[in-house]
Structure 1
């Protein structure tokens, strides 16, 4: 995405202005594929030729490309803005032909990468289903099957760990104080575990903070308390560790995630019951 952005900023910046977040817009990507001639067996990048098609034919071509990419219909506002940008002469015009060829190649590589990613994610979730873990791991609000599968692919069988804290230490997310003689520094994560597991847990944080009320409340508490207030990054790291600990409990004990236990823990519930 950054490669395409850099190239278009040099020769055709108006294309990037057609959508607020162009690379997240299926319509914009499909329209660019049509303009560049990607997948049509033609020399793409001729803006005059595309403009001579007319808006109606251009819209039909983009609709077909959007459907091919698995979407229902394009956003006409973005489509029409990109068509209007065909006449914009801003940019280094002499380099457009060569740059558009590179953009077409990059879009092709991007499509192949996304297809491979979809295939891998499908296989990951299939393994999760075979192990009978999908229902358990997705009981944690905000944790998707792909996110859980990515974590478990890095940990292996969670039963091999002696405790939930051992999983957090394996990821390098366990806090440790820096001590030397009489000096005691601030506690920091060790960072000595598996980088791939840290990344998988870190990515799971974003979805959980959006939909999981327990984790969202924990994050707000850590970043808003008066004493020992954490930075957003530190609080997200703490949430990542909580996800690993509770995923361990869910899988090892074969019990669905309980927001009450996740908030208060089992010991406080036992005391209250007594």
Structure 2
């Protein structure tokens, strides 16, 4: 006995996506596929059965796309095609010159996921051999099969926010690396100084004292009064105003018996000073870029809206939005969550039901930004706290703490999507699911 089922939401959206792609990759257009490289570009003209109509290697960077299109047009016309559509892998930033010049000439560009090209090498000739023309042929085949996508073009303030977000990510890595390097060096050369405060690297007085000197011998030679005065003079440069004399006395006492590896102490302490300078510089750059990101959100009139989500900072929201640009380009909030790789991945067939995990496919930077944001929101948002408690303590299928935070990160993205796209404030009653819809009365 069969059961007729209507099309699901996924079916309809898939059909809409394929319709949009077919309006670009038209059957009367040949496919021009380019395998991008630094100094040479392999171009292939193919029909929709992936039969190669022409191939040519072009010397130069990606800006030779004009020469490629000048060559591909007559080849496609000779085979009876009315025009061409361009396809490539999104290699670094090299695809952007192709998009810029192609649209200036009225030619559409689509991109193919590199994973599909990698998997297509073996199905092409049963080998994993790779070459420029082979990759270009596979790209053309994927475009003809509509296994491609239209690249998103960043413009205006969203473009600036994207680049500022990339800069912030770089500075976070630099700051974290310098901080860990400082700890590693002091553990080797002067371990006693790391016991002078409960969290020394998070204590401003301790960091300023290390900025005065990371050499215990020099601190002892200065004497405590001169050392404390030097810390007082250095404090404003780090944004502080008051010293903790108890910590300073503990550092001075630790300088008497520094411990550590004696043969490397002088050199390692000198390098620790460089690590501290790198850390301080990265923190300054981080504060500057975060201020610029807040400025962009102010221009977009989003700062007040995103902070209606209790526990979400402006910087946290800006970091999320910087990963994808305007979320309105996505069909719905679920699509945005799927783009982050936070959607559930089913593992079932027939009567078999495996363990459900998140897909982890999509944009890892967006997933990381949402994960970081939910940690702060959990502390200050009673709705998220109650949801976290429910997920981890329910009788049926309780989640582990990491799983619950992942589920809440996906919920945060869905709610932020509504706040940004609809320009409405976050409603804790709606987020908690305590509102009741009132059915309209019959006339």
* Partner residue in 2 for 1:22: 200
Q: Does 1:5 align with 2:183?
A: yes
Q: Does 1:201 align with 2:379?
A: no
* Partner residue in 2 for 1:138: 307
Do 2:306 and 2:314's aligned partners in 1 also have CA atoms closer than 8 Å? yes
Residues 226-237 of structure 1 aligned to structure 2 (within 5 Å): 226-237=395-406
Once the two structures are TM-superposed, the CA of residue 80 in structure 1 deviates from its matched residue by 1.2
Which 4+ runs in 1 deviate beyond 6 A? none
* Partner residue in 2 for 1:55: 224
Do 1:11 and 1:96's aligned partners in 2 also have CA atoms closer than 8 Å? yes
Q: Deviations over 1:128-147 (max 9, x none)?
A: 00000000000000000000
Structure 2: runs of 5+ lacking an equivalent: 1-178
Distance, in Å, in 1 between the alignment partners of 2:400 and 2:358 is 14
* Partner residue in 2 for 1:179: 348
Distance, in Å, in 2 between the alignment partners of 1:12 and 1:125 is 40
Distance, in Å, in 1 between the alignment partners of 2:438 and 2:387 is 22
Do 2:189 and 2:261's aligned partners in 1 also have CA atoms closer than 8 Å? yes
Q: Point out the structure with the larger helix share.
A: 1
Distance, in Å, in 2 between the alignment partners of 1:219 and 1:273 is 34
* Paired residue total: 263
TM-score, scaled relative to structure 2: 0.57
Q: Deviations over 1:135-174 (max 9, x none)?
A: 0000000000000000001121111111111111110101
* Partner residue in 2 for 1:101: 270
Q: Does 1:250 align with 2:427?
A: no
Q: Point out the structure with the larger strand share.
A: 2
SS where residue 283 of structure 2 aligns? helix
Distance, in Å, in 2 between the alignment partners of 1:143 and 1:273 is 36
Do 1:67 and 1:73's aligned partners in 2 also have CA atoms closer than 8 Å? no
Once the two structures are TM-superposed, the CA of residue 109 in structure 1 deviates from its matched residue by 1.2
TM-score, scaled relative to structure 1: 0.91
Computing the radius of gyration from Cα coordinates, the structure with the larger value is 2
Distance, in Å, in 2 between the alignment partners of 1:178 and 1:34 is 58
Once the two structures are TM-superposed, the CA of residue 63 in structure 1 deviates from its matched residue by 1.8
Q: Does 1:192 align with 2:361?
A: yes
What is the RMSD of the two structures over their aligned residues, measured on CA atoms? 1.6
Distance, in Å, in 2 between the alignment partners of 1:101 and 1:22 is 19
Distance, in Å, in 2 between the alignment partners of 1:25 and 1:13 is 17
Structure possessing the higher relative contact order (Cα contacts under 8 Å, 6 or more residues apart): 1
Structure 1: runs of 5+ lacking an equivalent: 37-44
* Partner residue in 2 for 1:166: 335
